[in-house]
Amino acid sequence: MQQGPYRIGSRGSALAQRQTHLVLQSLKDTFPHNDRLSKAEIIWIKTSGDKIVDRPLADIGGKALFCKEIQQALLDKEIDFAVHSLKDLEHTLPQGLIIAAVLEREDCHDVLITPAPTSSLANLKPESRVGTCAPRRAAQLLHLRPDLQIVPLRGNVPTRLKKLEDEGLDAIVLALAGLKRLGIWKEDHPHLNFDILSFEHMLPAAGQGALAIECREDNDDVKTLLKEINHWETYTCIQAERALLKELGGNCHTAIAALATITTEKKLELTAAYFPDYLDCKKSRKLFICQTGPSDQPIQLGQKAASTFK
């Protein structure tokens, strides 16, 4: 029985569209004669996170709101697989779904964007208003600059850049991966300064910069297909990061950062930071670890690293 074109689900933002086309192109390059891929249909799904834009994510259900309708479409067999920004996926997936593949990770630094001539976190004026909705970013900003005022900031990348100017913010923080995928940089906004923050100052979210391809666990055809574009190094690293997040009960209210890398000796190194009380600047603590383990045991490394925070 002849099967129809593959159906791919994704959000409809400009960034999500770009990311989905990156995945589809990777598949087409790997399987140039696959008719189901050449005729693949992309189904753009508007999620609750896209519809509700006037409240902080933490108040309405967190980043899971960017995925749940897409995941339901998978479970209902309306699509064959889905493309997500990995950091938007909760550490525990709905029963019956798996991350079948991830593409090679894009640069996972964060970027501080300010009106010129301000050029860095250090030279922001006292009590500057900085836009972000991520507890992880807020915690690390306040740890470095307790005087800063954190302002909730929602919307896609162009919307956030516009709010920087329209709402009188002194700075915003965005992921470099998204800016690179959209081709947005200084030359497009000469009146703004883009300062890439070091990992010493701003560790990324678990999975930041990686694209996840999710499918049903019982769909062997799709799993076999996606396995061929899975980037082993990135997949190994995100397993450790997500295991740490799961062990700590990470959610939209927790300030947790994690970055795993493969060393030149083929070991897995996991660096993480946890701010258990970041909202209270007077009590704010930064718990920090850097641990190394075998690259074939990423989940165990993530769990072990998380235990040091407890």
Which active-site residues does the annotation give?
Answer: 88
What residue type is assigned to position 217 of the chain?
A: E
The dihedral over CA atoms of 276, 279, 283, 289, expressed in degrees to the nearest 10, equals: 30
| 202 φ/ψ angles, rounded to the nearest 5 degrees | -145, 90
| Ranges assigned E (strand) in the chain | 7-10, 41-44, 81-85, 97-102, 110-115, 129-131, 149-151, 171-175, 192-196, 211-216, 256-262, 267-274, 287-294
Cis peptide before 204 (omega within 30 of 0): no
Contact 272, 304 (CB under 8 A): no
C-beta neighbour count of 62 within 10 angstroms: 18
Contact 8, 83 (CB under 8 A): yes
Integer-rounded Cα radius of gyration of the chain: 20
Q: What is the DSSP letter of 104?
A: P
Please return the burial class of 54, using the count of CB atoms within 10 Å of its CB with bins 0-12, 13-18 and 19+.
Answer: exposed
